[in-house]
Amino acid sequence: MKRLILIVVFCCLFFGGILMGFMIVLGFFSSSSSVLVPNLDGISVEEAQNILNERNLKLKILEERYDLKREKGSIISFNPSYGMSIKKGQSVYVVVSKGIEKVVMPNLTDKSLQESQIELSKLGLKLKSLSYISDRRKEGVVISQYPSSNAIIPKESDCFLLLSKGGRRPIFVMPDIIKKDFTTVSRSLSEYGFQVISSGSNEGIITTQKPLSGMPVDANEVIFVGVQK
């Protein structure tokens, strides 16, 4: 009985050793036929090709597209991903940058905000900021822009527009009306939208004025004068 047990134990050890050796050999050959995918992110196609050749892997370009961050000819993404184990001789598929796509900035002067937004959107440009000032032009039209028209700029660039608020009143320089006839001055200034108010008589010679001579004044502003007969 003891002898039978010894024979069984011996057989188990013998065949177990053979199995273990087989697994080791299998693992060796299996590992030697596989390789880890290197990191190809951001490097050139030529450099990636050399790295993959050293590992007995192939490079295949899956797609080329414009990219704002990657230089032309550099790799945007790749598959299988970095660190994955694949068989030697297999291909790694890469997406390659065509560089930064550029567009021509349109002339938006005198166009409405809506028209400008449509044009910028068609070109892939972004309206970043709006500013408004009073201007003789129609309210809501573009007075100025940045970048300037016909400038060649990267797609998705930020754009800035200055629009008219409309309704700007003209600015005048206040004339010297001292010692002039009130009736004549009042009639003349009223043609430009000014209202002349006397602190005394409505007939006679002007002795004081406000605003003073040389000061800037808006149309429709009230002019105060002192009049002496």
- Identify whether 26 is part of a domain: no
| Mean pLDDT over the full length of the chain | 85
Claim to verify: residue 93 and residue 114 sit in the same structural domain: no
User: In the predicted model, is pLDDT for residue 218 greater than 70?
Assistant: yes
Claim to verify: residue 149 and residue 183 sit in the same structural domain: no
Q: What is the pTM of this model?
A: 0.45
Claim to verify: residue 107 and residue 153 sit in the same structural domain: yes
- The enclosing domain of 122 has a CATH number of 3.30.10.20
pLDDT at 57: 95
In the beta sheet, which residues pair with residue 195?
222
Per-residue pLDDT reduced to its tens digit, 76-123:
999 999 999 999 999 999 999 999 889 999 999 999 999 999 999 999
Domain range for residue 159?
102-164
Supply 160's token pair.
């800035």
Query: Which of the listed residues 100, 116, 146 is the one where a domain comes to its end?
Result: 100
Question: What whole-number distance in Å separates Cα of residue 135 and Cα of residue 132?
Answer: 9
- Identify whether 17 is part of a domain: no
User: In the predicted model, is pLDDT for residue 28 greater than 50?
Assistant: no
Claim to verify: residue 144 and residue 154 sit in the same structural domain: yes
Claim to verify: residue 196 and residue 222 sit in the same structural domain: yes
- Identify whether 53 is part of a domain: yes
What is the rounded end-to-end Cα distance, in angstroms, of the chain?
A: 152
Q: Where are the alpha helices (DSSP H) in the chain?
A: 2-32, 45-54, 113-122, 182-190
Claim to verify: residue 153 and residue 109 sit in the same structural domain: yes
Q: What percent of the chain has pLDDT over 90?
A: 57
pLDDT at 25: 42
Claim to verify: residue 39 and residue 95 sit in the same structural domain: yes
Question: What whole-number distance in Å separates Cα of residue 144 and Cα of residue 136?
Answer: 14
Per-residue pLDDT reduced to its tens digit, 144-196:
999 999 999 999 899 999 999 876 566 788 999 999 999 999 888 887 778 89
Supply 146's token pair.
């940045």
- Identify whether 51 is part of a domain: yes
Binning pLDDT at 50, 70 and 90, where does residue 26 land? very low
Per-residue pLDDT reduced to its tens digit, 4-24:
555 544 555 555 555 555 454
